[in-house]
């Protein structure tokens, strides 16, 4: 997972279609000229985005998307004073859309929409969940230790698991990822 995330994922991420918010949203609401969105509501364009990703990489791709979006949204929500350190180093796209304002989607929908639309091999994705969640936790811990040492990883994942958005539970992949996160962060 680590090799995929750092080697192939950035190139594949660059293939999907991004949308820039209007100037009012960029300048007055988000105050970040580099912000772009992908996905739309409920990842309505998952099919178009994933057709650009090799079938053999799609499971790792959606797990990686989930990782970056979850981290982005959780830091913005719960650790806003540290968010800008993350943003300056990653500059990842936002999952959602922008109209009269920015609309962030639930990161768990990145796992559900491809299953819903039958765009991935669910069994293959489920087989990757333990390795992925271990990577997610280890990489998050490493990033925090190196860049934002005041954030304690267990407390961070506890906030995520108690967030109202964490109640989303569609399909087979979402519950598996959630259960693995909870199990590995509460031992």
Report the domain count for the chain.
1
- What does the alpha-carbon distance between residue 71 and residue 86 come to, in Å, rounded to a whole number? 9
Tell me the torsion sign for CA atoms 25, 78, 131, 166.
Answer: negative
Burial tier of 125 (Cβ tally within 10 Å: 0-12, 13-18, 19+): buried
Note if the pTM is more than 0.95: no
3-state helix, strand, coil in the chain (%, to 5): 65, 5, 30
Q: Which two tokens stand for residue 18?
A: 């991004």
Number of H helices, E strands in the chain: 10, 3
pLDDT of residue 187: 60
Please give the helix or strand (H or E) that residue 102 lies within, else none.
strand 102-104
Q: What is the mean pLDDT of residues 57-70?
A: 97
Domain that holds residue 54: 2-185
Average pLDDT for the chain: 91
Using the predicted structure, report yes or no on whether residue 24 has a pLDDT greater than 80.
no
The helix/strand/coil state of 104 is strand
Rg of the Cα trace of the chain?
A: 16
Outline where 44-171 has alpha helix (H).
46-50, 58-78, 80-90, 109-116, 122-147, 153-161
pLDDT of residue 28: 59
């Amino acid at each position: 997972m680590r090799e995929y995330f750092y080697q192939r994922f950035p190139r594949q991420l660059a293939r999907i279609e991004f949308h820039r918010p209007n100037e009012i949203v960029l300048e007055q609401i988000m105050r970040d000229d580099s912000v772009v969105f992908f996905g739309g509501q409920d990842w309505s364009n998952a099919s178009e985005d994933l057709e650009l990703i090799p079938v053999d990489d799609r499971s790792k791709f959606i797990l990686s998307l989930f990782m970056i979006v979850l981290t982005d949204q959780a830091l913005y929500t719960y650790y806003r004073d540290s968010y800008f350190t993350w943003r300056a180093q990653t500059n990842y796209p936002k999952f959602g859309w922008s109209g009269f304002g920015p609309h962030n989607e639930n990161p768990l929908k990145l796992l559900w929409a491809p299953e819903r639309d039958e765009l991935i091999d669910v069994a293959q994705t489920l087989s990757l969940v333990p390795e992925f969640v271990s990577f997610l936790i280890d990489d998050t811990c490493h990033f925090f230790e190196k860049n934002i040492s005041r954030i304690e990883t267990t407390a961070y994942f506890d906030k995520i698991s108690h967030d109202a958005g964490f109640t989303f539970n569609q399909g087979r992949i979402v519950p598996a990822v959630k259960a693995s996160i909870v199990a590995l962060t509460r031992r």
